[in-house]
Chain A
Amino acid sequence: MSRALIAGPRDKLPQSIEVLHELKLIHIVDHHGEDDTFHIGKPLSPAAELSDNLVKLRSIASILAIKAPPKERERIRIEELRQKVLSLELNISEEDAARKKAEGLLGDLERRIDELRPFASIGLPLEAYRGYESLTVIVGRVPRDVSGFEEAMPVAEVFRGPGVVAVFAPKAASEQALALLAQSGFTLVDIPAGEGSPQALLDVAVADRDKWKARLEEIQGRLEKMRERYAGFVVAAEEALEVEVDKAEAPLRFAVSDHSFVIDGWVPSSGFKALQTRMEGLGIYVESGEPQEAREEEAPPVLLRNPKPARPFEFLIHLYSTPSYHELDPTLFLFIAAPFFFGFMIGDVGYGALFVALGVVAAIRLDPKSIWWRILFVTAVGGVWSVLFGLLVFGEAFGLPFHPPPAHLEELSWESFGLFVPIPTLIHKAFGIGDMIYLSILFAALHLGTGYIIGFVNEVHHSKRHALAKLGWFMCLFGLFTLLTFSLRWNPIARWVWDVPLGWFPRMIEPLGLRGFLGVEIPFASLILILGALLGLFESVIAPIEVASLLANIMSYMRLAGIGIGKAAIASAFNVILLQNLILTGQIGFVIMGVAFLILAQMLVFLLGWISAGIQALRLNYMEAFIKFYKGNGIPFRPFGAQGTQEV
């Protein structure tokens, strides 16, 4: 990034904004300070009118309920826009008012109908319910018949309709009548206004309602037609206006004096020349400053540049925190590590192929800018690893192993169905728990070690002391790793790592006649390396305590083994139960039921695996690795003129 300072006479401000907007190269740094000469600029003259039009357009869009952008868009001319927006607003607000009126009336009529209906079924005229001095009138709905009311209260007179009852009782007995009615689940209703036969009133109300309903449908039909006709215009005009408002209000971010303006911002160094040439063509002066010379407190914005396949992973970095300008972008690190862990946890050809297939469907059907496209792309890359692990290491498809494990030849496998895969299985998940755990520790060491190396590179230009601390932590990690490898060397993989790649490692166990440490045999070189954590004192005083947390970080990777085995166990349990008990019985009813259940069960395992492996793969990066080297808190590069930034 280069700092750019653009200065020119005030009358050239509109042209300058036009050019900068078109170039989409400058990330403007807002001018805040008021001083005697330079003030915050005022919006260009059309700003007020443009904003007014934009507000009107948005209200039109909301009345017409335009949500998705239409396929065809109209070309918009800003000069004609005002007239068009005004006439459209006039048309639509008329229809909208008519619609609101109709909806209000319909609501009133519905209430009136609800009120009148019980009275219509009783049949008494409405005036009969009012105007008594000594009588109280109780009308309400009852879910069950009020049998025996007359016997219990001979002074009262009762009228009945289906589900309705009207009681005329002396005022003194009203409490008693209500208590009796309450036993049948009675709920009181109000007596509607008006006189005459309730049935006749009801008929009028229903006829009115039907009339207004038809009218409302008519209005909605007209609005629907308007939507079809104007959606293209409204969406395109809204976009065009947003751009114009953006331009007209840009001076609010500039420093402006009586006769000149100054724009301060960041430009990618590669684009600086282009910007300078264009601006100088207008007679505007552009000066560059290197980031180091720029004011320290304002870090430059960050534009991530990654190889194409890694780019969809950038959103995962922004989700955590945008990298600061002074550190390495961890996208590539995440691009390699997260799908690898995902693949290791799934470790299944069948599910892996499904993830890849989903990714392909997404690539064809979805918009590359949508969040789902990116999520499915990320899982598809994990799917590729999953196919590799499933094929070459775990020998498994849809939870069913290619070959039965050596000591358990009776177990179900693809061979039981006559499918022979000529690739040997290296690890049977259910029987190779030790292998899985050691591999998790190995991945932890590689992952965290890379993290410390990146941390060292980040810090070396910045603070030598912090860089030294990173080195110390790297040594400590290596010490812990060698110690774990040594103590787990009963496992063949650990044995191989200890003997071959770590063959050079000094394995002196009994120096000075000491036998191990606290009674446990350990290589002393590992102990010395772990003391490297003392270099961490350069970073913080509590560094030695954090050795334990580093050990916890390594342990945390055992979730790779845990989820890998757990997911395989769930899938294999479903397979065994459904295949042996239903499908392989050969009875047609059981077979159909078994196949249906099997498909459901496989979908469940697939989804569970996707969610848990996906979250855990990210978590290991965010939680365990990133905190070793990554600070974030950068400002994403948002050039003036670019619409739709990389926000999630």
Chain B
Amino acid sequence: MADPLAAMAAAITMAGTGIATAWTQKIVGGATVGAMAEKPELFGRGLVLMALPETIVVFGLVIALQLLTKVAAP
């Protein structure tokens, strides 16, 4: 079983990066939908911009897993 402190740290990492991603996507998504209403051919570029912030939460996932496996294991 993982160290409780490491488990909490992992949870906080996931929550923080998750919120950060959501916040960014809210802004980008709103702007993208607005732009697509004007020019539907911007879909591809919009999707790319929309997906960019996801990197934050993926990094969060990596750090969380590191915390759980590396730090917790003696």
| The one of A433, A434, A558 that contacts B58, using a Cβ cutoff of 8 Å | A558
In the complex formed, the residue of B with least CB distance to A618 is B47
Instruction: Contact check, B44 vs A562: say whether CB atoms are below 8 A apart.
Output: no
| Interfacial chain A residues near B59, Cβ < 8 Å | 552, 555
A319 touches B61 (CB 8 A): no
With A558-B58, A623-B51 known as contacts, the answer to whether A434 contacts B69 (CB < 8 A) is yes
Contacts of B51 in A (CB 8 A): 619, 622-623
- Give the nearest-CB partner of B40 in chain A: A648
Question: Is A507 part of the contact surface with B, judged by Cβ < 8 Å?
Answer: no
Give A623 to B47 CA distance when docked, in angstroms: 8
Contact of A319 among B43, B48, B55 (CB under 8 A): B43
Nearest-Cβ distance from residue A639 to partner chain B, whole angstroms? 21
Q: Which residues of B contact A437 (CB under 8 A)?
A: 65
A556 contacts B by Cβ under 8 Å: yes
Does A320 count as interface, using CB distance less than 8 angstroms?
yes
Q: Which residues of B contact A627 (CB under 8 A)?
A: 48
Indicate whether A559 reaches chain B with its CB closer than 8 angstroms: yes
From A319, A433, A555, A556, B44 is in contact (CB under 8 Å) with: A319
A23 CA to B59 CA, complexed, in Å = 55
Tell me, in angstroms, the Cα distance from A562 to B59 when the chains sit together.
Answer: 11
Residues on A with C-beta less than 8 A from B65 are: 433, 437
Contacting pair B48 A623 (CB below 8 A): yes
Give the residues in chain B near A619, CB-CB below 8 Å: 47, 51, 54
Cα A321 to Cα B61 in complex, Å, equals: 31
Closest Cβ of chain B to A19, distance in Å, is: 33
Q: What's the count of A-B pairs with C-beta under 8 Å?
A: 40
Please name the residue on chain A nearest to B41 by beta carbon: A321
**At the interface, yes or no: A632 with Cβ under 8 Å from chain B?**
yes
Instruction: Give the shortest distance, in Å, between B72 (CB) and chain A (any CB).
Output: 13
A433-B65, A434-B69 in contact; A320/B44 too (CB < 8 A)?
A: yes
From DSSP, what is the main secondary structure of chain B's interface residues? helix
Does B62 make an interface contact (CB < 8 A)? yes
Residues of A in contact (CB 8 Å), total 17
Please judge, given known A-B contacts A552-B55, A622-B51, whether A558 and B62 are in contact too, CB under 8 Å. yes
Q: For the complex, what is the distance from the CA of A559 to the CA of B69, rounded to whole Å?
A: 18
With a cutoff of 8 Å between Cβ atoms, the chain A residues found around residue B44 in the complex are 319-321, 622, 632
Q: Could you mark each residue 22-40 of chain B with 1 if its beta carbon is under 8 Å from any beta carbon of chain A, else 0?
A: 0000000000000000000
Chain B nearest CB, measured from A445 CB (Å): 16
In the complex, the answer to whether A622 meets B61 with C-beta atoms within 8 Å is: no
The 8 A CB mask of B52-74 against A (1 = contact, 0 = none) is 10110011011001000100000
Task: Give chain A residues whose Cβ lies under 8 Å from the Cβ of B54.
Answer: 556, 559, 619
Among A558, A559, A562, A622, which residue has its beta carbon within 8 angstroms of that of B47?
A622
CA distance A320 to B48 in the complex (A): 9
Residues of B within 8 A of A556 (CB): 54-55, 58
Contact of A562 among B52, B61, B69 (CB under 8 A): B61
Which A residues, 582 to 620, have Cβ-Cβ distances below 8 Å to chain B? 619
Report Cα–Cα, A559/B51, bound state, in Å.
Answer: 12
When C-beta atoms are compared, the residue in chain B nearest to A566 turns out to be: B61
Q: CA–CA, A632 to B48, complex, Å?
A: 14
Give the Cβ gap from B40 to chain A, nearest Cβ, in Å: 9
Q: A466-478 vs B: 1/0 string, CB under 8 Å?
A: 0000000000000
Q: How far is the CB of B59 from chain A (nearest CB, A)?
A: 7
A426-460: which residues lie under 8 A (CB-CB) from chain B?
A: 433-434, 437
Expressed in whole angstroms, the minimum distance between the Cβ of A562 and any Cβ of chain B is 5
Q: How far is the CA of A552 from the CA of B47 in the complex (A)?
A: 18
Q: How many whole Å from B8's CB to the nearest CB in chain A?
A: 18
Question: In chain A, what residue has the closest Cβ to B48?
Answer: A623
Q: Who on chain B is nearest to A318 by CB?
A: B44
Q: Are A555 and B47 in contact (CB under 8 A)?
A: no
Shortest CB-to-CB span from A546 to chain B, Å, is 14
Instruction: List chain B residues, Cβ under 8 A from A433.
Output: 65, 69
A529-567 at interface with B (beta carbon < 8 Å) = 552, 555-556, 558-559, 562
A622 to B54, CA, bound (A): 14
- What are some 7 contacts across the A-B interface (CB < 8 A)? A552-B55, A555-B58, A555-B59, A562-B61, A619-B47, A623-B51, A632-B44
Chain B: residues with CB nearer than 8 A to chain A? 43-44, 47-48, 51-52, 54-55, 58-59, 61-62, 65, 69
Name A's B-contacting residues (CB within 8 A).
319-321, 433-434, 437, 552, 555-556, 558-559, 562, 619, 622-623, 627, 632
Q: For the complex of A and B, list the 3 residue pairs with the smallest distance between their C-beta atoms, beginning with the closest.
A: A320-B44, A619-B51, A623-B51
